[in-house]
Amino acid sequence: MKTNGKRPFQSGIPSWALTALAFFATIFLFIMIASTGHQMKINDTIVLALFFVINGLFVAACCFFIIRQNPKSIWYVPVICNVVGVGIFSLYWDSEFWKTYLWIIICGIWVLFIIASIIGYRIGKRALSDDVNSAR
């Protein structure tokens, strides 16, 4: 794989720091969506579903780019990035979580995280092996 000599902006930042940044961005995203939904007087379940969809796309992209940079981080990046979105807010916000359709959205989002992480892992692993082979 040929490069143009430029390194990505996140190449100097460790994976755990990027994961923590994505974790805190998820909290900020939740606050923004919840406050906007409250101001617009939207039903809490709709606000939560909107948060899960937006958060799912955001965290899937974060998982892809972080794991592509460091394929070894596949074991912790999806879990840490998603603890806030799926674990804490879903159970806190909606007391009848399993009786609504939100668990279907969350299961779909977890599948999205896994797919994005595997794709990032495979691309990152291939890029690392190409770099090692080109260095020989």
pLDDT tens digits for range 72-111:
888 888 887 777 555 655 555 556 666 667 777 777 888 8
Output the pTM of the full model: 0.74
| CA separation for the pair 102, 97 (Å, rounded) | 7
| CA separation for the pair 110, 7 (Å, rounded) | 30
Cα torsion angle, 6, 131, 60, 34, sign: negative
Torsion angle of alpha carbons 107, 112, 118, 120, nearest 10°?
-150
| Residue type (1 letter), 1 | M
Indicate if the pLDDT at residue 2 is higher than 60.
no
| CA separation for the pair 35, 134 (Å, rounded) | 51
Please state, rounded to an integer, the average pLDDT across all residues of the chain: 77
Indicate if the pLDDT at residue 29 is higher than 80.
yes
pLDDT at 9: 58
- Residue pair 32/74 in contact (Cβ under 8 Å)? The answer is no
CB neighbours (10 Å) of residue 130?
13
pLDDT at 124: 87
Indicate if the pLDDT at residue 44 is higher than 80.
no
Average confidence (pLDDT) over 31-39: 84
- Residue pair 37/46 in contact (Cβ under 8 Å)? The answer is yes
More confident residue, 104 or 67: 67
